[in-house]
Structure 1
Amino acid sequence: MPDPPRDPASNPQHTTTTTPSTTSTPTPKASGQGPTNNQDIISVKNLQLPCGVVAPDVWGKAKEQPALLTLTLVLRGEGFGSAAGGDRLDGSTIHYGELSKRIRSACSTQGQTAGHVSAHAERIISEMSRKTSTSFITARSVVEVHLPKASMYGDGVTLTNITEYDERGRTRAAQRIFVVREVKLMLLVGVNSYERSGKQPVLASIWLYLRSGGAAEGGGSGSGSGTVALFNLEQTLVQITQDTSFETLESLADFTVKQLQKRLLNHLLPGSQVQLRLEKPRAIAFADAPAVEVFRETPSGGGGGSLKRSLPAARRAAGMIQHQRAGTVATVDSLDEMTGGQEEGLKVIKPYV
C-alpha cells in the first residue's frame, strides 16, 4: 500500500461521510470553504520553545526536555487572496512571524507541560484569527507538540490537537490523535526460507483517534482536556511481537492490533479507533518498504452515553496527521477519571495534568 499523506494539512477535510483513500489525492476543501477546491494554508514547522516541556523521559521519569511546535492553519473562504493581490499583509492572512513570537513568549514558563503549550498555541491562533466580531479567518488548526527525546524505540513523542472552527470562531469539532510512528522491532517474519533464518526490522506505526466529549464536541474551547501518557506503549509492542513468527505481515498486523486492544485499549481508551501500519524495509531491494495497514474500532464499553466517533471519521483524520514523526502522548477529555483494568506490564503516567 502506498504511504499515506504525511503533511498535517494534506487532507484537512474530515467532516464528510466519504471514506478517503490513503493514497495521494488532490487536497479537498475544508469546511466553510467556497464551492471550489482552492485552499490557502499557513504553517510554522518545528518552532523551538524558550523553555522545555515537563514530560516522561525514556525511563518514565517526569523531566524537562526540548519541545518543537508545528502549527498548520487552514484559512476560510478566499484565504489570503487579498494579501496576495496587494503584496502586503492585511486582514486576510495571519502574520506567521508575530504568531511565532507570541507563542514563544507565552510558552516561556519553567515546568510547563505539553497540555499548557497546546492551550497557549490554540488561544493565540484564535486571537489572531479573529479580525472582527463577525470575521474569523481560520477554518481549521493543527497543533503538534513534538518531544524528540521522549521515545525509546521511535523518533519522539507527539501530541496533536486538531480544531475546526465556524465563521464566528466557535469550536465546531475537535480531534485528539495519539501517534507512535516507526517503532523499530526485530521480528521473525516472512514467507521465504531465508527469512525464516533470522529476524529482520519491522517498523510499526500506530495512530489512536480518541473519543472526545464535553467542550471538544459541544462548541467549547477544545483545549482544556486532561492529558495522559501511555508511556509503556512501545514496550507493550515489543512484548506482543517479540516471540511471534508469522509468515505474513497481514497476520502479524491482525494479531498485534487485537493484542493491543486486549491489553491496553479496551480498558484505557474505549470508543477510540486504532490504525496500525507495519513496514518491512528489507523485504524489497528496490523499494523503501512494503507495508500493510489496518483500521479497527475499540469497543466503547458502555461508556455512559459518551460520544463515539465513527471509523470513517478517524480515517479522514488520518489523512490530516500522518507524517514522519513518532509519538506516545495523547490528550482526551475525562481520561483522568479512568480507573482499573490495566494489564500486567502497562504503566500509566500522568505528568501533564
Structure 2
Amino acid sequence: MADNPTLVRQSTWTTSQSEVTDKISVRNLHVTANAGFDVWERRKMQPVLLTISASLSQSIDAAAEADAVNESTVHYGKLSKNVALTVENAASTWLTSLELAWFVAGAVFTTAPPGSLVACEVDVFYPKASMLGDGAGYIRSVDNFNDTISRVLYLKNVRIPCIIGVNIHERLLKQPVVVNLWVDCLPVHQTDEYTKVEQLLINTIESSSFETLESLATMVVAQLRRDIFHPDGGANIRLRVEKPMAVPFADAPAIEIFRPASKA
C-alpha cells in the first residue's frame, strides 16, 4: 500500500493542524484486529487500542448553537461503531499497521458528513506487542488539505536493567532504565519493526556499562542507525531514557535526544 501524499515530520504535521479550528477525537477504542505482530513476531489476532483525532473543516459553532449533532461536527458514537465494524470486517486478512490505520481513516472520513474533515490522525497501539514495555504503536497522520502525511513508530516505557551511574553502589548492581522511542518519517517497509527494535534496545542496553545517561542514549541511537534505521533512509529518531531509581524524591531524571535523518 502506497502513501502518496508528501511525507513530513510529525511536528510539521501537528503544527499545520494548529490552524484548524476544531477537532473531535476518540481515545483508546478497544478492538481486536488481525494486524501487526505480537510479541513473538507472529501474525495473529491481538488487542489494539485505537486513538482517532479528526480535524474539522469548520468550527462547531453551528452544532453548539443548535445543541445538536449536525453537519458541522461528527457523531462520535457512530464513528466508534463504524471504526470497530471496519476492523472486524477486515479480520479475515492480516494487515500491516499502515493498512489498519488506512482502513480506520477511511471509516472516519466515510462516517463524517461530506467535506466536514480536512485531516485525520490514527494511533494504532498494541499493548501486548512489547516484551518489557507497556506496548508498541504506529501513528499515521494524513492532511488532505495540504496533501501531507506523517508516519511514526514508537515504543512505550520499555524497562531494561543495566549498569548505569557514577556512584560506587551503582557499579555493583543493575538498575532499571525506562526507554521511550519515536521513529519519525518512517519508511513504509519498516512499519511493523517494533519487535525487532525492542530486541535491539534490550540487547544493547542490558550489556552496557555507562556512567551517564547521555552516553547510553547516544550509543543506543547510533546502534539503531547502524542496524535498523540507516541515516540515508530518511527516518528521524527521538529517544528518551529515564533512570527511576536515581533520585529518591523524584519520579526519574531523564535524557531525551533527537537525531535527524542524514542530509546527504
Q: State the TM-score bracket (shorter-chain normalisation).
A: 0.7 to 0.9
Tell whether the 8 Å contact from 1:202 to 1:280 is kept in structure 2 after alignment: yes
- May I ask how many residue pairs the two structures share in their alignment? 251
Tell whether the 8 Å contact from 1:44 to 1:72 is kept in structure 2 after alignment: yes
In the alignment, structure 1 segments of 5+ residues that lack a partner are: 1-11, 17-27, 34-38, 213-224, 303-353
2:179 maps to 1:208:
no
Residue 126 of structure 1 corresponds to 109
Task: Give the share of equivalent positions with the same residue, in percent.
Answer: 33
Tell whether the 8 Å contact from 2:236 to 2:261 is kept in structure 1 after alignment: yes
TM-score by length of 2: 0.85
Query: Which residue type is aligned with residue 126 of structure 1?
Result: F
Residue 264 of structure 1 corresponds to 228
Runs of 4+ residues over 4 Å off in structure 1: none
Shift of 1:227: 6.3
Task: Tell me how far apart the structure 2 counterparts of residues 233 and 88 of structure 1 sit (CA, whole Å).
Answer: 46
Residue 25 of structure 2 corresponds to 43
Among candidates 145, 148, 151, match of residue 124 of structure 2 = 145
Matches within 5 A, 1:88-237: 88-109=68-89, 110-112=91-93, 113=95, 114-131=97-114, 136-166=115-145, 172-211=147-186, 228-230=191-193, 231-237=195-201
Summarize deviations over 1:51-85 as a string: whole Å, max 9, x none: 432432222222211222111123234x2121112
Partner SS for 1:117: helix
2:251 maps to 1:253:
no
Residue 277 of structure 1 corresponds to 240
Tell whether the 8 Å contact from 2:138 to 2:191 is kept in structure 1 after alignment: no
Task: Tell me how far apart the structure 2 counterparts of residues 153 and 183 of structure 1 sit (CA, whole Å).
Answer: 5
Summarize deviations over 1:136-159 as a string: whole Å, max 9, x none: 333432101222112111112212
Partner SS for 1:105: helix
Shift of 1:211: 4.9
Tell whether the 8 Å contact from 1:265 to 1:298 is kept in structure 2 after alignment: no
Partner SS for 1:256: helix
Among candidates 240, 251, 255, match of residue 288 of structure 1 = 251
Higher relative contact order (CA 8 A, sep 6+): 1
Tell whether the 8 Å contact from 1:31 to 1:139 is kept in structure 2 after alignment: no
Residue 242 of structure 1 corresponds to 206
Task: Tell me how far apart the structure 2 counterparts of residues 182 and 210 of structure 1 sit (CA, whole Å).
Answer: 21
RMSD of the TM alignment (CA)?
A: 2.5
Shift of 1:173: 0.5
Shift of 1:250: 0.8
Task: Tell me how far apart the structure 2 counterparts of residues 275 and 235 of structure 1 sit (CA, whole Å).
Answer: 17
Partner SS for 1:154: coil
Bigger drift between 57-66 and 179-188 goes to 57-66
Partner SS for 1:289: coil
TM-score by length of 1: 0.65
In the alignment, structure 2 segments of 5+ residues that lack a partner are: 1-9
Shift of 1:130: 4.6
Matches within 5 A, 1:61-72: 61-72=42-53
Tell whether the 8 Å contact from 1:13 to 1:30 is kept in structure 2 after alignment: no
Task: Tell me how far apart the structure 1 counterparts of residues 27 and 159 of structure 2 sit (CA, whole Å).
Answer: 25
Query: Which residue type is aligned with residue 150 of structure 1?
Result: A
Among candidates 299, 302, 311, match of residue 262 of structure 2 = 299
2:39 maps to 1:58:
yes
Partner SS for 2:233: coil
